[in-house]
A and B are shown apart, each in its own frame.
Chain A
Amino acid sequence: MRKFNYTIKDPNGVHARPAAVIVTEAKKYASNVFIIHGQRSADAKKLFAVMALGAQCGDELIFEFDGSDEASAYDGMIEAVEKARL
């Protein structure tokens, strides 16, 4: 398993576009991808679940990767969230 922490920079938090970026990236991999936000967690491949986290600007998320291609999922997600400046 791999994980990284990420602090949300988008002023509107994880709204439509950021959630779409995360879900689109997560769906590329076979591994399970989870996002943990305080007491809640969500399957990163599910759009409504990701939005329901209600993560706002400045909140810290933990991304967890578990599965056969977790290394590339980890790299891919870091690149995707940084590129989109979430």
Chain B
Amino acid sequence: MIKFYGVGVSPSVAYGKLKFFDLLTNEPCSSSEAASGSQISELEKYRSAKKQLELELGELERMAYDSGGAEAADIFSFYRLMLDDDDLELSVCDRISNVGMSAEVAVSAAIGELSDIFKSLPNEYMREREADLLALRDRLLKKLGGHGAKIELDSHVIIAAVDLTPADTVELQGHGILGFALEKGSGNSHTAILARGMGIPAVCQLGELPRELDGKTALIDGERGCLIIEPSCELIDDAKRRQAVQSEIRLRNEALRGKPTVSKNGKKIKLLANVGDLNDVKRAVESDAEGVGLLRSEFLYLEHENVPSEDEQLDIYRKTIAMLNGRELIIRTLDIGADKELPYMKLSEERNPALGLRGIRASMAYPDIFTSQMRAILRASAYGDVGIMLPMVSTEDEVEWAITVLDEAKAQLLFDGAHIGRVSLGIMIETPSAALISDKLAKRSDFFSIGTNDLTQYTIAADRENGALSNLNTSLPESVKKLIEMTVSNAKMHGIPVSVCGEAAGEAENAPYFLSLGIDKLSISPLRILDLRHTISELNV
């Protein structure tokens, strides 16, 4: 038994085979080769590698957000800013065009020069960021060498490494890794933040780990900050006990897969997922969501230079319907304001975008964009039922306007011989005004969905991103509950279903409240579905 002491940065334990990361991956490309092709093709090579890496970082950012939250995702937006920096771009292009270097050599040299800046910075924390820049370089070199960064790996191993980049960490996650043992690294390192987000044990600063330990059994203990090679039975038993508690939770959740969500007293509720793109839809199906209660359609627009065509939109909606395979789908219409700019939707600068031209208000200012979305959804309904949900409604007129546009689009499509399925129209209740006139709105809509995040922000009149006001933006303050209760009772009176989306919907402690109110559906993060189903199955409501 050999024991290495370090600093535990993610508190759980795991027992399994140790695998050295540097024995698994390709060596970074050698950078001494002279340019082989013409300089123009070297420039193209660099640009295309950069583009690929940008996309990959965007994807990693989303994955990190899902498993580790905003703090984890910020790491990748920092990577993207580094990649997009003008100084880096100029320096690489100059080396290729004027010095005649290959793309690989130019990238290494340019980043080497920039990394000197970091070395001279005044504090340790800032100097540590050099590691991020070097990680970015290695990623870029891999892309230039045409190597995917895919890792072939047996699952259920503990990864040992000198240090890991955030991107490595997120990618390894998909391989069922048990834990991380790092020779260097620190509690501040991005890898530590990510490991915590994923609930995987990690220990840093273990000192040099001899490579002959590769393949040996080991115990990684993130609570106590140590790595034990060939641990004693007693230690293994203790770790197994702790591991068992964790896997019991997983097993318990798996047993609920495919089952309806019912409380002990037989109250039923549907658990749907909030999704932001097609990857999320896949995740929603994998995590046994009973449908999608909120498809944020912004991704269709944010990824485009121009307005996405009706056919492009139709294609995405059709794919979503196909992936959901009969489960329900509710699409929120474009919810954009001055805080997220689209090149083709010039919203003038606003002093207070939260109270500005956004959601349905922006749609009314750009009716063509809204009409094209309505047409795409109507055409998609031929492949399965769809619900349309209007964001940021505060008056009846807004709903009337949307109904008119929808009806006209429907009439036109039918006239042209298009096939249309069942389309329902619902309203997001996320302004106090909408809740207060929910009796009137209920007459004009097929369902309500209560957006608790904005409803709370607008009711309490406190910016939810202002940390100084976090004591006000709690989960479901009394005033918000009153508005919710008013909305639910008006919906019941008119016989339309009510769902809740927003963070409060996914919080276990709110489940008894929503259940006893008779909420029909909760739409939450896909990752929380099985946990919440378990919580509800234990409730005496």
Contact = CB atoms under 8 A, between A and B. Distances in A.
Contact of A46 (B74, B78, B86): B86
Q: Which of B77, B120, B349 has the most chain A CB within a 10 Å cutoff? A: B349
A3 interface: no
B81 interface: yes
A45 B129 CA distance: 19
A49 interface: yes
A12 B78 contact: no
Given A13-B125, A16-B132, A56-B123, A51 B118 contact: yes
A20 B87 contact: no
B123 A47 contact: no
Interface string A32-54: 00000000000001111101101
B126 A83 contact: no
Interface in B196-243: none
B81 A56 contact: no
A9 interface: no
Given A56-B123, A72-B349, A83-B465, A51 B74 contact: no
A44 to B, nearest CB: 12
Given A20-B74, A47-B81, A48-B85, A15 B125 contact: yes
Nearest to A71: B349
Interface residues of B, number: 25
A51 B133 CA distance: 12
B114 A13 contact: no
Contact of B121 (A24, A45, A51): A51
Contacts of A56: 122-123
Contacts of B466: 83
A2 to B, nearest CB: 16
B467 interface: yes
Given A13-B125, A20-B74, A49 B349 contact: no
Contacts of B77: 20, 24
A24 B80 CA distance: 11
A24 B122 CA distance: 23
B122 A54 contact: yes
Contact of A48 (B74, B88, B349): B88
Contacts of A14: 126
A23 interface: yes
Interface in B72-92: 74-75, 77-78, 81-82, 85-88
B117 interface: yes
B530 to A, nearest CB: 33
Given A16-B78, A17-B74, A85-B467, A46 B121 contact: no
Contacts of B132: 16
In order of increasing CB-CB distance, the 4 nearest A-B pairs are A12-B125, A52-B117, A16-B78, A54-B122
B81 A23 contact: yes
Tell which of B114, B121, B129, B465 has the most Cβ of chain A within 10 Å. B121
A56 B121 CA distance: 10
Interface string A4-20: 00000000111111001
Given A12-B126, A13-B126, A17-B78, A47 B121 contact: no
A24 B121 CA distance: 22
Given A48-B87, A51-B118, A24 B129 contact: no
B43 to A, nearest CB: 21
25 contacts: A12-B126, A15-B125, A15-B129, A16-B75, A16-B129, A17-B74, A17-B78, A20-B77, A20-B78, A23-B81, A24-B77, A47-B82, A48-B82, A48-B88, A48-B117, A49-B87, A51-B117, A51-B121, A51-B126, A52-B121, A54-B120, A54-B122, A54-B126, A83-B465, A83-B466
A46 B122 contact: no
A28 to B, nearest CB: 8
A83 B126 CA distance: 21
A12 B129 CA distance: 12
Contacts of B78: 16-17, 20
Contacts of A49: 87
B81 A24 contact: yes
Contacts of A20: 74, 77-78, 81
Contacts of A47: 81-82, 85
B85 to A, nearest CB: 5
A16 B71 CA distance: 12
Interface string B96-138: 0000000000000000001001101111011001001000000
B403 to A, nearest CB: 36
A13 B85 CA distance: 21
A42 to B, nearest CB: 11
